Structure 1
Amino acid sequence: MTRLKLSLIVGSVVAVLLAAAAGGWFYYIMAPQPTVTLPGLSYSVAESDIDSLLNYSEARAVLERHVPGLTGLRQIDVARPLTLEDIQPYFPQMITDGRLAAIDAELRQLEGSNVVVYTTGSTLVGVILDDPEARDIVDSYLPGFSTHPDIGQGRGFTLNFMQ
């Protein structure tokens, strides 16, 4: 009889511990949140810097169409942090008010490329490894991370969990 009671007590304790461990596992490993996709940038002559306009091929085409020769100027690299309105006084014949208005109208119709936001707490390592830009960013902070021989085992986890 004593042996039966001991078996029941041990069995109950084991069952409670297993239930607690399972509950803790599900609490600790939450389902990853979906990645967030931010809408593309909007462009304007007053707010967009020249660097952004030159690096986005469609915006660059608008500049080349309305102000031929602007993108080929030697000084354009110095002006990259400035807006078109900022540099207008330096090129009054090239960048007129009429051209700025036409450029602005076309730029506002452009849709910039969407930006996907990954986080260390909600994005799976596999998703990061499959995105070349994200993989390069992680490798810049954790050299050799994506090429580690055991990285395949971590594809289903987040970086926070792997920490």
Structure 2
Amino acid sequence: MKRILAPALAAFIAAAVAPAAFSPAAAIPSEPSKPKYSTAETPLGDLLDTPATKAILEKYLPELVANDQIEMARGMTLKQLQNYAGDMITEEKLHAIDEAFVKIAGQ
């Protein structure tokens, strides 16, 4: 029985350690990619400086984009700004903006 198992075991080990059979990328499960833009993580300044994301903000939050004091908030995220302008920046708008960001990322 040892003579039958030895060649099979040797073949199995050879196949398992063969360079072509092992791919480090395949061994590590890939993380889902994060969206490039986010209302919770991307600073407002970055969103205003990018034409595609600025157009989305102009659609959902035109009064925010047109505000004279918008420059003072460039380092904050929309989620952070919601604390100061919750009546203007609602959860529904943030969700819609995030969905629009995902759509432009797929283009």
- 1:53, 1:59 within 8 Å by CA — same for their partners in 2? yes
Q: Which residue of 1 aligns with 2:74?
A: 80
Whether the aligned pair in 2 keeps the contact of 1:45 and 1:85 (CA below 8 Å) is yes
Partner of 1:105: 99
- Rounded to whole Å, the distance in 2 between the matches of 1:91 and 1:65 is 17
Task: Deviation per CA, 1:37-94: give whole Å up to 9, x if none.
Answer: xxxx810101110011000011001001011211111221010011000100111111
> Equivalent of 1:48, from 39, 42, 53?
42
Q: 2:84 aligned with 1:90, yes or no?
A: yes
One-letter amino acid of the structure 2 residue matched with residue 111 of structure 1: A
Unaligned regions of 5+ residues in structure 2, if any? 1-34
Q: Measure, in 1, the Cα distance between the counterparts of 2:92 and 2:105.
A: 22
Q: Deviations over 1:131-155 (max 9, x none)?
A: xxxxxxxxxxxxxxxxxxxxxxxxx
Q: Percent identity?
A: 38
Report the equivalent of 1:31: none
CA RMSD of aligned residues (A): 1.6
Structure with more of its chain in helix, by fraction = 2
Compute the TM-score of the two structures, normalised by the length of structure 1: 0.42
Do structure 1's residue 64 and structure 2's residue 58 form an aligned pair? Answer: yes
TM-score (norm 2): 0.62
Distance in 1 (alpha carbons) for counterparts of 2:69 and 2:80: 13
Tell me, in whole angstroms, the C-alpha distance in 2 between the residues paired with 1:111 and 1:96: 23
Amino acid at match of 1:97: E
Unmatched 5+ stretches in structure 1: 1-40, 113-163
